[in-house]
Amino acid sequence: TTMFSTARKPALQLCAKRYSRLCTVSLQNFATKKSTPPRLAKYPGATNAPFTPELSFEDGSKHVFPIYHITDADGNILNQADYDLVMDNLTNDKIKDIYKQMVQLETMDFTLYNAQRQGRLSFYMTNFGEEATHFGIAAALDASDEVFAQYREAGVLLYRGFSIQDCLAQCLGTDKDPSKGRQMPIHYGSKKLHFQTISSPLATQIPHAAGAGYALKLAKKDNVAVAFFGDGSASEGDFHAALNIAATRECQTLFFCRNNGYAISTPVKDQYRGDGIASRGPGYGIPTIRVDGNDFFAVYLAVMRGRQMCLDKKTPVLFEFMSYRVGHHSTSDDSSRYREQEEIDFWQREHSPISRLRKYLLNLGLTTEEEEAQLRETIKKQVLDELLEAERSPKCPKDELVMDVYDNVPKHLQEQKAFTDKIADKYPEAYEDAH
């Protein structure tokens, strides 16, 4: 194949003539002898790159990642072959079950968001609009694949068996919270469910997943480590660090970007100027796909295939799930200050992942509006009952204050704890509301 089109040839020759006779000769030779393979430069930094006499900058616009989907916004199947591949692994009963869990997450979010507004929780973050990504991914992963989440991935935990009580124990820091009330609400973790405890600093978990994926490879495990992160987090240095090291070490790691259009108030046009996050994957030498994050079926099949490729070829894989953050960033955010209500309504009413799956189930006669309304009512009542119970539960004991800093409690920490206890015992009235 030629290095450049014939249409460009006269301009190139003109350009070459103007500057170098020698160059003109080589150009003509190169342009006419089409069968001669391009000479590789042999520079160690890019051994596959041929020389070109064409002065040309790349702006990335030649290739825009398409958004892979299987169903449309009305739940109709657009790609029957791929839909069949999904159904080789899932049944409609299972899908209905997953749909119920999506509704459960949405209802729990709605209820706890309002509970925070009443001052019953200190903080909360909803998952509105991104439920299909959570459940599509979770269903396609093995239950023992190690998850490194950002914070908006509660659906993955629910799918693996985390209960509403577990969520509430963490959000309220009760004595049933395995993380002992030390972190802000929604910073979940479960060793049993292979879900590494969430931390607030953004993107730090991405290189962790690279390292974990490497450990899994060396242990010859048929498991992957997965990192979740948003479009905003992908601007952090840790994103770059993680993808580059995962590529060079050929880690068993999947990178899941939830591109929901916003990082708090910052729209993606202030976040990046390339073709989203997906366009960066090939730059690191990582197989990459962009998926409709509101399409459960597309998410499921892409992750299933990508996971297999990761294990077979020992390569990390990057996924960009396109979606829309329907809710506020958090309970500390009022998103009406930086975006239009019509925009939210568009994604919430007709184009949400839950409405799409509902339409699919309705089309097949697998659910009814009444059944679903009943489900929402039941879950809401369950969440409120369990919230009341969690509120009545004792907080995690204050002896935990100095535990787990190190594997043992060093002497200086024992002293600091003893001093704190002494003051608290002397002035109990001052510490009544210490929890």
Interaction site with other proteins (CB under 8 A)? 146, 148, 177-180, 182-183, 187, 189-191, 196-197, 199, 201, 204, 206-216, 218-219, 225, 237-238, 240-242, 244-245, 248-249, 400, 403-407, 410-413
∠ Cα 332 337 339 (to 5°): 115
Q: How far, in Å, CA of 185 to CA of 172, rounded?
A: 7
Q: How far, in Å, CA of 111 to CA of 45, rounded?
A: 55
> Cβ of 214: how many Cβ atoms within 10 Å?
19
Angle, helices 237-248 vs 205-218, to 10°: value is 10
Nearest-approach distance from CB 290 to other proteins, in angstroms = 25
Nearest-approach distance from CB 188 to other proteins, in angstroms = 10
Nearest-approach distance from CB 180 to other proteins, in angstroms = 4
Nearest-approach distance from CB 15 to other proteins, in angstroms = 37
Q: Select from 377, 372, 370 the least CA-distant residue to 357.
A: 372
Is 292 strand, coil or helix? strand
214 versus 347: smaller Cβ distance to other proteins = 214
Is 2 strand, coil or helix? coil
146 versus 231: smaller Cβ distance to other proteins = 146
Nearest-approach distance from CB 328 to other proteins, in angstroms = 25
Nearest-approach distance from CB 402 to other proteins, in angstroms = 9
As given in the structure block, the two tokens for residue 1 are 């194949």
3 versus 311: smaller Cβ distance to other proteins = 311
199 versus 348: smaller Cβ distance to other proteins = 199
242 versus 357: smaller Cβ distance to other proteins = 242
Q: How far, in Å, CA of 284 to CA of 315, rounded?
A: 11
363 versus 414: smaller Cβ distance to other proteins = 414
Nearest-approach distance from CB 10 to other proteins, in angstroms = 43
Half-sphere exposure of 416 (CA within 13 A, CB side): 10
- Beta carbons of 255 and 267 less than 8 angstroms apart: no
Beta strands in 177-261 (DSSP E): 195-196, 225-230, 253-259
136 versus 189: smaller Cβ distance to other proteins = 189
Q: What are phi and psi of 354, to 5 degrees?
A: -70, -40
Q: Select from 231, 218, 325, 315 the least CA-distant residue to 278.
A: 231
Is 411 strand, coil or helix? helix
214 versus 360: smaller Cβ distance to other proteins = 214
199 versus 393: smaller Cβ distance to other proteins = 199
Nearest-approach distance from CB 110 to other proteins, in angstroms = 28
Nearest-approach distance from CB 245 to other proteins, in angstroms = 5
Pairing of strands 317-322, 253-259: parallel
Q: Select from 155, 145, 146 the least CA-distant residue to 125.
A: 155
Q: Which parts of 68-91 fold into alpha helices (H)?
A: 80-89
> Cβ of 128: how many Cβ atoms within 10 Å?
24
